């Protein structure tokens, strides 16, 4: 069976180009993740790894869609090998059913990881330059909800739980505690 794996970094990104490639390659089953590739904890990737059987071929558009670092790439390929499945990356023309393909996979995986590190480094440098120019100030701080103080007082008195306070204010747990700490209210509850 030919199994396609597609990944884009965010839910807003389009998978159509990769899906068309999979259709052209005649894949029987497609797994799609819309999340970062920084680690292997992707739901559809894990389902695909579980689904793969002996003799299957996993096809990806490029190595960077499958794994972002060499360690993860090699671990994923090892899992496929244990199940006696092969791996094909169309862009890099890698096929792990050949010794050359296995070697090239490791080389391209290392290159993809290096490329990502360069990209992150350039991004960090760009942000630092923008900060110096006064163009980058980060995210705007959240404004306190209108009823923040009254909800906090109820929480401090033990009239409501932190969970209820968070839900009532419509903010995340981390935002709640950060705002409480910032306004110097309820610090004794946090500690």
Query: Which member of 9, 62, 64, 81 is catalytic?
Result: 9
Report if residue 140 sits inside a domain: no
Active site residue 9: yes
**pLDDT tens digits along 93-140:** 888 888 888 788 778 777 777 887 898 899 999 988 988 888 877 777
**pLDDT tens digits along 144-185:** 778 888 998 898 889 999 899 999 888 888 888 888 887 764
Report if residue 123 sits inside a domain: no
DSSP 55-70: T-EEEES-HHHH-SSH
Question: Count of H helices and E strands in the chain?
Answer: 9, 5
Q: What is the dihedral of CA 87, 88, 89, 91, to 10 degrees?
A: 170
Q: Residues 66, 73: contact at Cβ < 8 Å?
A: yes
Report if residue 16 sits inside a domain: yes
Domain span at 7: 2-117
Q: Cα–Cα distance between 25 and 20 in angstroms, integer?
A: 9
Report if residue 142 sits inside a domain: no
Find tokens 């290096």 and name the residue. Answer: 114
Report if residue 92 sits inside a domain: yes
CATH of the domain at 33: 3.40.50.1390
Report if residue 12 sits inside a domain: yes
Domain count, the chain: 2
Report if residue 127 sits inside a domain: no
């Amino acid at each position: 069976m030919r199994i396609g794996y597609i990944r884009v970094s965010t839910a807003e990104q389009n998978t159509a180009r990769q899906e068309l490639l999979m259709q052209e390659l005649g894949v029987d089953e497609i797994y799609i993740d819309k999340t970062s590739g920084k680690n292997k904890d992707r739901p559809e990737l894990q389902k695909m790894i579980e689904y793969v059987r002996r003799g299957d071929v996993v096809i990806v558009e490029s190595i960077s869609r499958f794994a972002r670092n060499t360690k993860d790439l090699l671990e994923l390929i090892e899992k496929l090998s244990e199940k006696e499945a092969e791996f094909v990356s169309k862009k890099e023309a890698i096929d792990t059913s050949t010794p050359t393909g296995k070697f090239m996979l490791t080389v391209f995986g290392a290159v993809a990881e290096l490329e990502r590190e360069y990209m992150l480094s350039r991004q960090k440098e760009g942000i630092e330059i923008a900060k110096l120019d006064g163009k980058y100030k980060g995210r705007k701080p959240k404004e306190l909800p209108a009823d923040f103080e009254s909800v906090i007082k109820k929480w401090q008195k033990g009239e409501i739980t932190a969970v209820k306070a968070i839900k009532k204010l419509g903010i995340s747990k981390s935002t709640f505690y950060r705002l409480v700490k910032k306004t110097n209210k309820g610090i004794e509850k946090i500690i």
